[in-house]
Amino acid sequence: MNFLKRILGIDTEEEVTDENGNEIGKFMPRPEIPIDEEFMLNFKKNGGKFLYCENENELRLNFSEILKENEWDECEVYCSKPDIYSKFDHTKLTFNKNLEACFFLSDCEFLISNTGAILVSSSQMGDKKLSDLPPNFIIIAKTSQLIKTIGEGLQQINKRQDRNLPTNITTIKTFDEKKDSDFMSYGSIPKNLYLLLLEDL
């Protein structure tokens, strides 16, 4: 609010400022929030649980904390990727493809910032549907997988050189059973989801 308005006591709408504290006019475009911050806000709003990991050691430590919190220390885990479960061979977990497992452990295709959703495909789920998989998920992703929209993710998948394009592409967006679903999430199965985000940039 400028000096004259403060003296006259004229109320105005809440002012918007840029990163330097300069006032932005109400008809100017709002400053865009960074993609990582936008994803975190939307992901938490959807009911997801997020743990940032600076390195592989922190990733293993946070993974162990999740196991302790949920008493999953010695249970079965649905995981089909040796490159993922080999990171956790120090645990007492049993890795297999049992749909009755305590939780589903996987990576993902992309993290969608404008909705806080996680894009997955047959590369993670095989021929299973989300509803077939255990209700608890632990997803391991990297900061380089953050993108703005689903469309951008589909374009990047389509550009892959190996032309081994995945099928069964879907998003996980509902992480809380109590959360009111909107039209876009109609019919989706809520998953209790932990995201371990590993810094790789």
Q: Please, which residues have CB within 8 angstroms of residue 112's CB and are 6 or more apart in sequence? A: 39, 118, 119, 147, 148, 149, 150, 153, 171
Q: pTM for this structure?
A: 0.80
pLDDT at 18: 60
Domain annotation for the chain: domains and CATH numbers: 1-30 (no CATH), 32-198 (3.40.50.10420)
Tokens 């990991």, located at residue: 53
- Residues 112-165 have pLDDT tens digits of 999 999 999 999 999 999 999 999 999 999 999 999 999 999 999 888 876 677
pLDDT at 12: 52
| Residue (of 197, 55, 61) closest to 138 by Cα position | 197
pLDDT at 6: 47
The rounded radius of gyration (Å) of the Cα atoms in the chain is 21
In one letter, which amino acid is 46?
N
Per-residue pLDDT, averaged over 170-179, amounts to: 78
Token digits for 185?
A: 């999430």
pLDDT at 125: 93
Which residue blocks in 9-113 are alpha helix, DSSP H? 35-45, 56-70, 82-85
| Residue (of 34, 46, 45) closest to 147 by Cα position | 34
Token digits for 56?
A: 């592989």
DSSP 185: G
Q: Is the pLDDT of residue 197 over 90?
A: yes
- Residues 36-87 have pLDDT tens digits of 999 999 999 999 999 999 999 999 999 999 999 999 999 999 998 999 999 9
